[in-house]
Amino acid sequence: MLNSLRAVARFIQKYIGWNRIGVLLSLTIITIAFVVLYRMLRGIDLADVMKAVRATNPLNVAAAALFVAGGYFTLTFYDWFALRTIGRRQVPYRIAALAGFTSYSIGHNVGATVFTGGAVRYRIYSYYGLDAVEVAKICFLAGLTFWLGNVTVLGLGVTIHPEAASAIDQLPAVTNRFIGIALLCVLAGYVAWVWSAPREIGRGEWTVNLPSGSNTLLQIFIGIVDLGCCALAMFMLLPGEPNIGFITIAVVFVSATLLGFASHAPGGLGVFDAAMLVALWQFDKEQVLAGLLVFRVLYYLVPFALALTVLGIREVMLNMKGTREKPELVPVTTVTAPIRTEIEAEKPKG
């Protein structure tokens, strides 16, 4: 079986290419999502959606905003943790927070987070002496924290409430529970693997030392808090009736987020929304759309504008600092005077 899988992988790599497979997968997800959205939104009146937005309790919006802030605050520890893992402890937390917040805020909205977030991180960290390889390692470790958190939340949620994922993957609850248990087993195996001995992956200068077992648990905790805050923000923006538990909302939210991430669409636009609408069929569509609109403003647009403002101010300050510290040019006459003196001294006399 393993040899067959390896043969298939070699065939794909040689004749098709994994990049083409990824592009095809993204286009497939986006196409399906927009077909679903078109079918679900045909009878929706925009006026009803805006009415539902205005009817949203301001206290719930304020609570959602606080949870979004908590989520972005937790995101700053992705970079802080990664910097310490690669041995760059001299970089202060405020720089890690700046890089983490701005890279994710911009990456969420522009799409292709690996590239856009990496570019923003490099612009910030290169000022503190980090090279491209170190920034790539930070991106990898931050991504590892994200995936460990997702696997944990999804594994626990699907194991406890397997029907929550059935609305998205259309699989029986028993199958989903098996998937949830399998995810937790894989997670436990990874933690045991890194706990048993120091581990590293990669080659040459691209080698990354993986966090130890105890630090991996810290990674998982950071990822859980981040996803928990985001899911709570979405939970606060949904209507109170029908009464659906937070764990169900968390499973739906994480599943929809991963689908949006796989599509590489900016902010998972269309894909995330279609998954949420399909999974939360118990609610009125207008109310779910209202919650999604407010969530996008709080989680995407506001942080994006703030990140651009912060980076713009930083660039202006760095340019001004560079101008002030620019060394004064020495006049040409001052440099050439000693040379002329030596030439005159070496001329034969008489």
In a domain, 219, yes or no: yes
Structural domain range at position 148:
18-325
- Is residue 12, in this structure, part of any structural domain at all? no
Q: Show the DSSP H helices in the chain as ranges.
A: 2-11, 18-41, 46-54, 58-85, 93-110, 113-125, 132-160, 163-169, 173-196, 213-236, 246-263, 271-279, 285-296, 302-324, 332-346
Residue 142 CA: distances (Å) to CA of 85, 248, 328: 11, 26, 42
| Residue 13 falls inside a structural domain | no
3-state class (DSSP) for residue 207: coil
What does the alpha-carbon distance between residue 153 and residue 256 come to, in Å, rounded to a whole number? 13
Q: What is the pLDDT of residue 30?
A: 62
DSSP string, 119-161: HHHHHHHGGGT--HHHHHHHHHHHHHHHHHHHHHHHHHHHHH-
**Which residues of the chain are under the pLDDT cut of 50?**
1-2, 5, 18, 323-350
Please state at what angle helix 18-41 crosses helix 271-279, rounded to 10 degrees: 50
CA distance 96 to 76: 6
Q: How far apart are CA 303 and CA 292, in angstroms?
A: 16
Asked whether the beta carbons of 81 and 218 are under 8 A apart, the reply is yes
Residue 185 falls within a domain, yes or no? yes
The answer as to whether 321 is a domain residue is yes
- C-alpha dihedral (181, 183, 188, 193), degrees to nearest 10: 140
C-beta pairs of 62-67 under 8 Å, 24+ apart in sequence = 63/233, 63/236, 64/232, 64/233, 64/234, 64/236, 64/237, 64/294, 64/295, 64/298, 65/233, 65/298, 67/229, 67/230, 67/232, 67/233, 67/236
Q: What is the pLDDT of residues 219-267, one digit of tens each?
A: 999 999 999 999 999 999 988 777 788 888 888 898 888 887 777 777 6
| Within-domain flag for 335 | no
**Per-residue pLDDT tens over the stretch 16-35:** 654 565 556 666 766 765 66
Residue 1 lies in a domain: no
Place of tokens 């991504």: 143
Token pair of 128 as six digits: 């503190």
Cα 199 to Cα 209: distance, rounded to the nearest angstrom = 6
Q: Are strands 208-209 and 200-201 parallel, antiparallel or unpaired?
A: antiparallel
pLDDT at 50: 87
Specify if 60 maps to a domain: yes
What pLDDT does residue 248 have?
Answer: 86
Residue 200, strand partner residues: 209
Q: Are 252 and 168 in contact (CB under 8 A)?
A: yes
CB 136 within 8 A of CB 211: no
Which residues neighbour 177 within 8 Å (Cβ) at sequence distance 6 or greater?
A: 158, 159, 162
pTM: 0.79
Tally the domains of the chain: 1
